[in-house]
């Protein structure tokens, strides 16, 4: 594998990890609230099997973020030093990238934030605070804020940080784009886990419908902001119609838009067809399975989008 291929994979995995670190506690703290009033918490997950599943994914995201971040830094150092792929860069090269570049300074700050997040998660989980569904504990809010900070800091690792025109507006749009991307489409992962858990309960889905509808409403709002910030980023990065169709960056962006468009179409079908049908007949297994299939398909397309994002990050834009 070439260094370019490895760099794309490291970037894609790193973005996925950062998005998940925000998506999971956001889903637990916001999307699940309707199903966790009173006795519903005992049957909709609470701190039981579903909570343990989310915690496993959160820990996996933490380790993915750490490992992919180290790989990304290593590959950038190799690239800057001009060394062979499997040769160990010298201490001078590592020090130069770490202390004398914006990328290195950003990685130092992000490594410190990730270490704090590791420690907070271990402490909060041991104390029974983390993912305490239905209530906003201090630890949940703190972990959500830190994971959000870790996520938006990635705006400084992309083209927005080197923007020539409207630098601040570009960074702000990129930060919003990242945060909303964690709500949807990355929020599809905890939502798919929730649907899988609901399927195992062996009963009607009347209580779970409130969560499905809340996720649909939240995603609907997130899509509008994602499209708006995406348009801002596209204009600042492309700048012309010819740049969109006649450059590698523009064609990659069109591929990303096509994948997101398919995801929006599947989400709209869920919102307009499957959810209203389940609201009328919560026991209808066919409608429920149709909803689950669409959510899984959306999640797969989200993986494709992340891969394209990884490629876009190392592709020079027309502007």
Cβ pair 57, 189 in contact under 8 A: yes
* Cα–Cα distance, 19 to 278 (Å, whole number): 30
Question: What separation, in Å, do the N-terminal and C-terminal C-alpha atoms of the chain show?
Answer: 30
pLDDT at residue 307 in the model: 95
Per-residue pLDDT of the chain (319 residues; tens, 9 = 90+): 688 899 999 999 999 999 999 999 899 888 887 666 544 444 444 446 777 788 889 999 999 999 999 999 989 888 887 767 777 677 777 888 888 888 889 999 999 999 999 998 887 766 554 454 445 567 778 888 999 999 999 999 887 666 655 678 888 999 999 999 999 999 999 999 888 887 655 455 666 788 888 999 999 999 999 999 998 888 888 877 888 888 999 999 999 999 999 999 999 999 999 888 887 877 777 788 888 999 999 999 999 999 999 999 888 888 6
Tell me phi and psi for residue 86, to 5 degrees. -100, 10
Sign of the dihedral through C-alpha 153, 156, 157, 158: positive
Domain limits of the chain? 3-312
Sign of the dihedral through C-alpha 5, 9, 226, 157: negative
What's the length of the chain?
Answer: 319
Cβ pair 317, 234 in contact under 8 A: no
Cβ pair 36, 136 in contact under 8 A: no
Cis peptide bond prior to 185, omega within 30° of 0? yes
* Cα–Cα distance, 224 to 234 (Å, whole number): 15
* Cα–Cα distance, 23 to 188 (Å, whole number): 9
Residue whose C-alpha is closest to residue 302's, from 12, 3, 4? 12
pLDDT at residue 35 in the model: 61
pLDDT at residue 15 in the model: 96
Cβ pair 301, 262 in contact under 8 A: yes
* Cα–Cα distance, 122 to 258 (Å, whole number): 40
Count the alpha carbons within 13 Å of 238 in the hemisphere toward its beta carbon.
Answer: 22
Tell me phi and psi for residue 316, to 5 degrees. -65, 130
pLDDT at residue 42 in the model: 43
pLDDT at residue 40 in the model: 44
pLDDT at residue 274 in the model: 86
Distance, CA of 298 to chain centre: 13
Q: Which helix (H) or strand (E) holds 77?
A: helix 49-81
């Amino acid at each position: 594998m070439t260094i370019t291929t490895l760099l794309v994979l490291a970037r894609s995995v790193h973005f996925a990890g950062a998005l998940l670190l925000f998506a999971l506690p956001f889903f637990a703290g916001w999307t699940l609230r309707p199903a966790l009033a009173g006795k519903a918490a005992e049957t909709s997950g609470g701190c039981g099997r579903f909570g343990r599943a989310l915690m496993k994914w959160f820990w996996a995201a933490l380790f993915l973020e750490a490992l992919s971040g180290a790989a990304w830094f290593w590959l950038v150092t190799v690239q800057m030093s001009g060394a062979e792929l499997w040769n160990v860069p010298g201490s001078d090269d590592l020090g130069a990238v770490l202390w004398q570049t914006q990328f290195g300074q950003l990685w130092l700050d992000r490594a410190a934030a990730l270490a704090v997040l590791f420690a907070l998660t271990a402490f909060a989980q041991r104390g029974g605070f983390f993912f305490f569904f239905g209530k906003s504990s201090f630890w949940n809010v703190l972990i959500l804020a830190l994971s959000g900070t870790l996520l938006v800091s990635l705006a400084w690792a992309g083209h927005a940080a080197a923007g020539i025109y409207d630098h601040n507006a570009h960074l702000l749009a990129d930060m919003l784009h990242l945060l909303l991307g964690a709500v949807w489409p990355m929020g599809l992962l905890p939502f798919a886990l929730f649907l899988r858990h609901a399927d195992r309960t062996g009963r009607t889905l009347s209580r779970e419908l409130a969560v499905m509808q809340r996720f649909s409403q939240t995603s609907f709002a997130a899509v509008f902001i994602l499209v708006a910030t995406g348009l801002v980023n596209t204009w600042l990065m492309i700048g012309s119609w010819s740049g969109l169709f006649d450059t590698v960056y523009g064609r990659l962006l069109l591929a990303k838009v096509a994948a997101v468009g398919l995801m929006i179409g599947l989400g709209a079908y869920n919102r307009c067809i499957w959810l209203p049908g389940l609201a009328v007949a919560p026991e209808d297994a066919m409608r429920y399975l149709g909803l689950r299939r669409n959510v899984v398909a959306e999640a797969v397309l989200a993986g494709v989008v992340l891969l394209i994002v990884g490629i876009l990050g190392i592709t020079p834009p027309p502007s």
